[in-house]
Amino acid sequence: MLQRTLREPVSLKGIGVHSGADVSVSVAPGTQGVRFHRDGGSVAASWRNVSATRLATVIEAGGTRVMTVEHLMSALSALGVWNADVTLEGPELPIMDGSARPFLDALAPLVADAGRVAPFRVLRPVSVSDGDAFAALLPSNTQRFDVGIDFAAPVIGLSRVTFELGRDDYARDIAPARTFGPLKDVERMRRKGYARGASLDNAVAVDGDRVANPEGLRFSDEFARHKLLDAIGDLALAGAPILGVYRSHKAGHRLNYRLLAALFGSNENFTIDR
C-alpha cells in the first residue's frame, strides 16, 4: 500500500478538551512510526501503550502520557502517514473544533509519496463485546468501516454509517464530524477531571431532544460519523493499515483497544502483506 510522508513540520494551537489547558503541537516528518514527544520523553502511538480509554484514547510509556490522540491519528491514517514526530506542549492534543478536519487541512498540503507500507491483513474474524456492544474485524481486501450507534437521547438515536478508506472521501464525509456529549453531564464530568475545555465551539452538545449548538449538525448522522472517525484513529494504533472490515455497534475507545489486542493476540489472526 502507498505510504506518504510530511515534507515539513506543521504547528497548531488550541485547547485540551479534558484538561482545559492551552496546547501547542508540532507534527513533523518521522522515521520510526508515529511518536509523541513531551517534557523530554516520548511514547509510540501503539495499542500496546494505551493506558486509558474513558472519553478519549490515552497512551503512556516510560512516564510520558499523552491524551486524546484519536483525532490526529485518524487524520494521519486517512492521509497514509505512518511515520511522524508529534511534539506537544501540554497534556493532550488540542481538540480544535471537535473533529479531525483542522488536522487534515493543516497536514494534507504537506504530504508526499514515500514508497510503500506493509499492511496487516485480517485472516479470520476477530471480535470483542461488552453486553450488546461489539466490535469486530473480518477478512477483506479493503479498509472498510461499518459503524452503528444506539443512544437513548432522541436526537441521536439509532444510526449506522459505512465508509471505505482509500476509496471514499474522508475529507468531505468523515473528517468534519465532531465529538459530542450530553449537556446535562458536563458539570459532572468536570468534577471528575474531564471536559474542562469543552464548549459549543469544539463539541456537539445534546440537550434531550435537541442539539444546543446554534449552527446545528454538519450531517444528519454526524454522531455515527464521529464514532467512525474515532474508530479509524484508534485502529491506526496498529502502526500500519489493517486490511479488513471493521464492524461495530455501540462501541467506543475501550472496545477498539480490546479489538486490537485480540487481533494481535494470535499470529493465526493476521499476516503482514510484504
Find cell 506493509 and name the residue: 118
**147: three-class secondary structure by DSSP:** strand
Residue 18 falls in the annotated catalytic set: no
**5: three-class secondary structure by DSSP:** strand
Alpha-carbon distances of 242 from 61, 101, 172, rounded to whole Å: 24, 22, 22
How far is 42 from 129, CA to CA, in rounded Å? 32
* Catalytic residue (one of 18, 226, 249, 253): 253
How far is 5 from 19, CA to CA, in rounded Å? 30
C-alpha cell at 232: 479509524
To which H or E segment does residue 12 belong?
A: strand 10-15
Which residues are marked as active site?
253
